[in-house]
Amino acid sequence: MSQFAIHAILRPPSNNNTHLLGWTLFFSTSFGRFQRRFEDVIANMRDHERLLDDTANAINIVEASQMRAVLKQERQEKLAAMEKEEGDKALQQYREVVAWLKIDLSEQSLIVDCITEESQRFPGGCDWVLKIDTMRSWLQSTASTPLIWLQGKPGSGKSVLAAQILGFLHAAGHSLVVSHFCTYSYASSTRYDCILRSLLLQLIQGDPDLIAYLYKLKDTEFAKRSVTPYSLERLIGTLAPALSKTPGETKYVHVVVDGLDECEEHKRDRLIGILDRLVSTSGSPPSVVCKLLLLSRPSDVIGRRLRKRSTISLSEQSVHVGKVIQTYAKYRLESLRSRLDQMEVGDDDIENMANMLSTKADGEFLSWQALNHDLLTTNGRHVSLG
């Protein structure tokens, strides 16, 4: 309250200033309260304004969020449709490339399945090969130990070892795994051009870019002529280094070829040359590292070609091979327990028979089809292992 108002209140009123005193009291009291209410109204209006702005912004945010969700869903649907379209196109191109190259991998699948099925009857029997330092180095995703020649006499279990190694590589999943099994049981598997076709198709599987590239070549460069072994060699040499798609990233490829000695003799040296060039071609730093495992019987011809490469000889691993044969024989004899019990064959007899089979095998993991015809004599009785 001002000094003038206080003085007016304390001074006795006169007729002339009575009216003035009333207004003074009104403004000094009522207007003071009104001012506080007015300021409160103004503050409330400002709060309401902010609330309206916040509400509008919230509505815009919700609408924008909903719009973003719709756009994201539409984008995902378009990408899914595009991926499906590209996948269907790549699949169609792949089928046409397979038909053009005249490749049938079902035969290889059958060979691998038969070998794998036999090895799975006694799991873990070949784990020892994975513990050899040379093999451990080859299995790793490094540039060390690029090529191994694993040799062993017939029936020593090379194919079973190859299947075990392939299983390990597939389970690890850190590299592209390519394989081919040559066997006289399937004549086409030993043909040079069929081996190249098999390797080529496995190199491009799962790679739409390489499939599209090969599909384009089919309709241009090779449109009016058949695919020759020389053309297949060129294609493998061209496509293998193109497997890496990310700059600065190294792609690892493990190639396993079993039964190299069963390949066409006049093409064997040429096949080794093609595979050896895959291993040798690498940049600095390498974008693609190919590592090769060759399995065959001992051969002076192959030995001369691979004399500077790492070698694993099963004849030098006779302790491991013999132990596997002995354990496997015991395992199979145990499966005949009910029949052996009838002939009063005990645990010691089974152990002796397993040792005898291991000794007789002499480091050769004989197929059980052959052992089925080899009858064991126990207490004047014959026991078949089939």
**Mean pLDDT, the chain, whole residue set:** 76
Cβ atoms 111, 183 nearer than 8 A: yes
The per-residue DSSP string of 290-359 comes to EEEEEEES--HHHHHHTTTSEEEEGGGGHHHHHHHHHHHHHHHHHTTHHHHHHTT--HHHHHHHHHHHHH
Task: Tell me the H-state helices in 205-264.
Answer: 208-219, 229-239
Mean pLDDT is highest, among 37-46, 147-156, 283-292, for 147-156
- Whether residue 371 has pLDDT greater than 80: no
- Whether residue 282 has pLDDT greater than 80: no
- Whether residue 382 has pLDDT greater than 80: no
What is the gyration radius of the CA atoms in the chain, in angstroms?
42
Report pLDDT for 23.
52
Report pLDDT for 94.
86
291 beta partners: 254
Strands 288-296 and 147-151: parallel
26 or 103, greater pLDDT: 103
Sign of CA dihedral 302, 307, 308, 314: positive
* Band of pLDDT at residue 196, cut at 50, 70 and 90: very high
Helix, strand, coil percentages (3-state) for the chain, rounded to 5, are: 65, 10, 25
Which fold is adopted by the domain 102-308?
Rossmann fold (3.40.50)
- Among the ranges given (99-103, 105-109, 364-368), the one the predictor scored with the smallest mean pLDDT: 364-368
Q: What is the pLDDT of residues 35-75, one digit of tens each?
A: 666 677 777 777 777 777 777 777 777 676 777 777 678 77
68 or 11, greater pLDDT: 68
- Per the structure block, which two tokens stand in for 16? 């002339």
Residues 365 and 203: their CA atoms lie apart, in Å, by: 32
Q: Which residues contact 376 (CB under 8 A, 6 or more apart)?
A: 353, 356, 382, 383, 385
226 or 341, greater pLDDT: 226
Question: What's this model's pTM, rounded to 2 decimal places?
Answer: 0.69
Residues 276 and 169: their CA atoms lie apart, in Å, by: 20
- Whether residue 32 has pLDDT greater than 70: no
- Per the structure block, which two tokens stand in for 282? 């690498």
- Whether residue 253 has pLDDT greater than 90: yes
- Whether residue 373 has pLDDT greater than 60: no
Report pLDDT for 368.
39
Percentage of the residues of the chain whose pLDDT score is greater than 90: 17
Mean pLDDT is highest, among 81-90, 164-173, 216-225, 354-363, for 164-173
Residues 76 and 82: their CA atoms lie apart, in Å, by: 10
